[in-house]
Amino acid sequence: MRFGYNILFVLFFWLSAPRYFLRMWRRGHWRAGFGQRFGFYGPELKAALAERPVLWLHAVSVGEVGVCCQLICALQPHLPGFQVLVSTTTSTGMAELQRLLPPQIQRIYYPVDFPGAVRRAMRAIQPRAIVLVEAELWPNFLWQAGDVRCPLFLVNARISPRSLRNYQRFGFFFRPLFAQFRAVGCQQPDDARRMIEIGFRPGAVRVTGNLKFDAAQAAPRAGLDVPALLRRIGVGEKAMLLVAGSTHAGEEAILAELLPRLRRRFPDLFLILAPRHFERAAEVARELERRGIQFIRRTDIPDGGPMAPGRFDCLLVNSTGELKFFYEQATVVFVGKSLTAIGGQNPIEPAALGKPVLFGPHMENFASAAQAFVAGQAAAQVADAAALETALAELLSDERHRAGLGARARQIVQQNLGATERTVRLILDGLPPSQEEKEAEHRDGN
């Protein structure tokens, strides 16, 4: 099976390489750590990891990085003898790791799933255990971990019905890989049931809850002064702020079309538009220009005194790591990738801030959280662009409705806390004893 997979993977990789490298180039900073993606980590990393056992955590991108950092903070007091290392796949994820983690935590790029690249990574890092956050399950990586008898953990796991069907279709391939895992922490009972159905050992699977509820409650860090930033571009203190977070293609056009109509009813309405991928800023700018929206890019805001009031209708956020600060000042929040794309982005972060939240029909990646918010009358789910406009108008015109929605959202977040503690216990229970612990047990036994 390995031979067949690697033939197909190499073929797929080189066919998709132009798109893959173009995306890296558009995101910027692609040269930094480029060799790491192929398992070349250099003598400095090996020296830094030489003295202590290594716990390797992997967070795919920005969404998983916050969860991973929260988990590290909770794990470290229990593992004083370990060196923690974190990998990520994207440059935006790496930027978040650099910003959030102290320098003693090693940060690397995850290797592409070539056998040689993964083998070099395993030799360089020699992990005592590996913790994968959510679902980054690459076969060569799992095979190599099994070859060196490295315990595998999967945390904050979820699986959609569609993914379940795909894994079941190729069960002969995936079941032996999934059976290797020492422990799996799932977000919901349905996720746990599906994990067992696709081959994870029943005794290894537990329901630990959604770590993103805890991550949304993390202590605030010093950051962007949004009110001061808005004053510099002439936005008044009493402006109503519609923050559209993590939007995808098509959603910006919808928001640009409904903004002038809403502004006729709410003249102080101002749109803050934050695309999920900041490299799409030029594409989004063209959508805004075609519809006559006066906007300014986040990176073009000059220092100094305020601009003329009313000059801009929209702020286009073409930067990373600042969305939470905009959420903090929002009057209403729209969560993207839910109206014109499938999957949905994270509604928990604005909900934890007590903001009234709206999202579209496609929240597959956050299905249980979205269902909890809607069932608890703590968020509004809309079917299409027309329904979005209607729901926004209702919220903007009714302060009590906004306050009630936000208060119930915050309450649901509070009710779902505790996943971090349960996940820490899952990992600690499954970690193999160190050589020193084995020797101590042997002495005690004698």
Q: Quick check: 384 and 339 in contact, CB under 8 A?
A: yes
Reading phi first (left if > 0) and then psi (alpha if -120 to 50, else beta), residue 337 is in: left
Q: Would residue 64 show up in a list of annotated catalytic residues for this protein?
A: yes
Question: Out of 44, 51, 64, 136, which one is annotated catalytic?
Answer: 64
Extended strands (E) in 42-149: 54-58, 83-88, 106-109, 127-133
Round to whole Å and give the CA distance between 257 and 34. 40
Alpha-carbon gap, residue 340 to 360, rounded angstroms = 8
Output the six-digit token pair for 3: 């031979």
Classify residue 278 by its DSSP letter: G
- By the 8 A CB rule, do 251 and 311 touch? no
Q: Which single residue is written with the structure tokens 């729209």? A: 334
Residue with tokens 């101590």: 440
What gap in Å lies between CA 12 and CA 227, rounded to an integer? 47
Q: H helices of 200-270, where?
A: 211-216, 226-232, 251-265
**Closest-CA residue to 255 (of 429, 140, 385):** 385
- What gap in Å lies between CA 288 and CA 295, rounded to an integer? 8
Q: What angle do CA 124, 127, 131 make, to 5 degrees?
A: 125
Chain centroid offset of residue 350 CA: 14
Q: What is the SS3 assignment for 13?
A: helix
- How far apart CA 357 and CA 340 sit, in angstroms, is 17
Q: Compute CA distances 259 → 289, 389, 409, whole Å.
A: 13, 9, 25
Query: CB 145: neighbour CB atoms within 10 A?
Result: 22
SS3 132: strand
CA distances to 136, 171, 387, 413 from 168, rounded to whole Å, are 17, 5, 37, 33
Q: List active site positions.
A: 64
